[in-house]
Structure formats: C-alpha cells, structure tokens
Amino acid sequence: MNKRFITISLYVALVLSALPATLAQLSPIQATTLIETMLANKTPITEMVAALANQGVTVDQILGTLSAHTNNTSPTEVMTALVSNGMAVADAADILVAMNNTDTGDNKVKMLKDQGISLELATRLLVSISSSKNTDERIDSMMKLGIPLRMAADYLVTLTVAAKPSELMDAMTTVGIPVNQAATVLVANNSRVPAPEILTTIMSKGITLAAAAQILVSNDSTAAGDQSRNAIIAQGLSPQQTDTLIALADTQQQIKQQQTDQAQAPVTISNDVATGTASGGSAAVSTSQ
C-alpha cells in the first residue's frame, strides 16, 4: 500500500478519534476542522465521505465550507475551459447563460440543500471546487470523481460564476460566437434579468435598436409581455413599429410550432395498406392530425 496513503489514513484516524462519536456532540467548529483537515491532506473521496457520515457531519456543514469557494471565476474562463474539455460551443453557451446566478455564495449552497443534494455529491463538489481556482483543474477533478462533464458544467457555473449580462456576451464572443448569435443565446436562456437591462446590454455590443428589438421579441423565453414592449419603446422605437415586430415574431413562433407538431405527429397506415389489400395498386399513407 502507498506510504502516503497510510500516513494520511493514520492522521485522519487520529483526528476522528479526538472528535465526539455522535451528531449531538459534534459542534460546527469540530465539523469544519474535520472537513478542512481532510481537504488539506487530500483524503481519498470514498474514505472522506465515509468518515464524515460516521462522524455525523451534515450536508449543511459541508455546504457551509463550500460557500467560501463560490463566485470566484470569470464567465470567460469557464466558457473557454468547457470548450477546451470537449463541450460544444453552443452547449457551453446555453449552460453559461442559463445557470449563471448572481446570488451570494450562501444562497447558492442553500439552493443545493433545498434541492436535496446528497452528502456524497456535496463532498465531491467541495473537494473539486476547493482544489483549485483554475477552472480546467476543477473540471478535471470533478470528472475524476465521477461527475460527467455536463453535470460538472451546471454546478461549476452555478456555484462559481456571478456575471453581468455584458460579461456573458463577452465570454461567448471570446470563443468565436458572433455577437448577434450571442445576443440570441442571452435572451433565449435568460430567466432572471429584466428585459430593459437585456436590451441595453445587447445594444451596448453594437447591435442596432431594430435588430436588438427583433432578437428580444423573437427569443424571449420568459413571456415577459409588456415588459419587453415597454423596454423597446423606451429606447426610441415607436409603438407601431414595436407592435409590428411582436406580431411578426408571434407569427414566426406559430409557424415553427406547427412545423414541430407536424414533424412529431405519428404516421398511421390504413388497414387496407397494412393487410396488403388496397385497391388501385397504390398504398396511401396518412398523417394523423
């Protein structure tokens, strides 16, 4: 057995022996001490999870340690790292915008707790994210601990990125996404930023008001209604022009939906065709509506 592994194991055993044996006796300070000692000594993940569980360390206490390592990465660094690790540019952009969250670290880890994250996954995330401030190294650590790249991207963006819309657009254009396409991704995946701020951000990147308004009304997934309309008018487009854009966008959405419905509709074959008894020698295939 590796001598270093034996040394770490003995050290962890000594730490554990000095701690109370039950959850009721384990103070937050003792839990934090145990967690940080294991992190510092790079305790193997399976051993760490087992030891924390045996000592009654809670998910709350693990996440409390994790919160100190949140909101410390730029969106450009994350975007570049995801692409360099094999993720498609379009997928990386969607995740970056959709999972970006400007909440505090405490609120972010509370969200994980509310979602019912397991002690084992919380520990794996803590080990990976606290291992380095370098995003490539964090991703590598996550994947080595069995977290798939897509899931790693979700957690990494959620926990370590707290970017403004303009920073998200810069991150996307850095990896080669055209500015209009970056604006479309920003609007389509946005669920937190108000329409006026989104519109102002798009225009600040050199996109004209008319083009920005078209992107906003055609791709807004939040069903913001009058908010988008009022934001466009406030920037100088007339109510008539704005309503025309909205009506055109609605028509295009209806056409897309009809095409999607038709593509997904099941194909049925008449009984005569199925039994080979169709008259006239030609088989008729109809699409169910």
Q: What is the pLDDT of residues 60-113, one digit of tens each?
A: 999 999 999 999 999 999 999 999 999 999 999 999 999 999 999 999 999 999
Selected residue with higher pLDDT from 120 and 3:
120
Give the per-residue SS3 of the chain. CCHHHHHHHHHHHHHHHCCCCCHHHCCHHHHHHHHHHHHHCCCCHHHHHHHHHHCCCCHHHHHHHHHHHCCCCCHHHHHHHHHHCCCCHHHHHHHHHHHCCCCCHHHHHHHHHHCCCCHHHHHHHHHHHHCCCCHHHHHHHHHHCCCCHHHHHHHHHHHHCCCCHHHHHHHHHHCCCCHHHHHHHHHHHCCCCCHHHHHHHHHHCCCCHHHHHHHHHHHCCCCCCHHHHHHHHHCCCCHHHHHHHHHHHHHHHHHHHHHHHHHHCCEEECHHHHHCCCHHHCCCEEECC
Domain ranges of the chain: 7-57, 75-117+125-160, 178-259
pLDDT tens digits for range 17-75 = 444 444 445 688 899 999 999 999 999 999 999 999 999 999 999 999 999 999 999 99
Residue 274 has pLDDT above 70, yes or no: no
Q: What is the pLDDT of residue 25?
A: 53
In tens, the pLDDT along 203-227 reads: 999 999 999 999 998 887 554 567 8
Q: Does the model's pTM come out above 0.85?
A: no
Model confidence at 249: pLDDT above 90: no
